[in-house]
Amino acid sequence: TGTDGRIRFSDVFKRLLPLFVFILLITVDQLTKSYFKYLHDQSPWTHTDVISGFFSFVYTFNTGAAWSFLSGKEWAQTFFKVLTAVAIVVFYIYYIFACKKNYALLRTALLLIIAGTLGNFIDRLAYNGVVDFLSFTFGSYGFPIFNLADAFMCIGVALLLIHYLFFDNNALFGKRKKDGTKISD
């Protein structure tokens, strides 16, 4: 609110933009997964080269976690659902505390991590697994197939590391004066 007690548009925008971005990320993730699941269920379609030998759309259904960890284990779905629910709550609480500090990069990182985690959680609840469809090949190495939610989480973790390495008050590589003390923000 302004000094006159009225709510300013910029304040509302600043508060609603993260929510809008969050909803957009979840929506795009779910729509892309639904699209590739639909193609597979109708045809059964499994593969389309986009850039031959490098990038393809490949439908897979992963009952495990990253790199198909614990794939095919019946108990793993319950484990992943519980772990994911706890992770979402923990990251959301962390996000609330991050909002109290003026760290835009940290808030962005957490927003991406939460959106990605929730995107895959929705799949686990709906299908007892996760739809993956992005495939990259680097020479003879085929990178594990993933989805947009996975990409959001990876980008979020990378931004989180950058924040803590360079921008946090106690950053390992933060700006320092000649005497070694931290330059205040």
Evaluate whether 106 touches 163 at the Cβ level (below 8 Å).
yes
Catalytic positions, written as ranges: 132, 150
Residue type for position 77? Q
Q: Which helix (H) or strand (E) holds 144?
A: none
CA separation, residue 149 to residues 31, 74, 137, 173 (Å)? 11, 23, 20, 29
Give the number of other Cβ atoms within 10 Å of residue 127's Cβ.
Answer: 14
CA dist 136 and 134 (Å) reads: 7
| CA atoms within a 13 Å half-sphere pointing along the CA-CB vector of 92 | 11
Which residues face 131 on adjacent strands? 61
Total residues belonging to the chain: 185
Instruction: Give the closest residue to 153 by CA, choosing from 127, 121, 124.
Output: 121
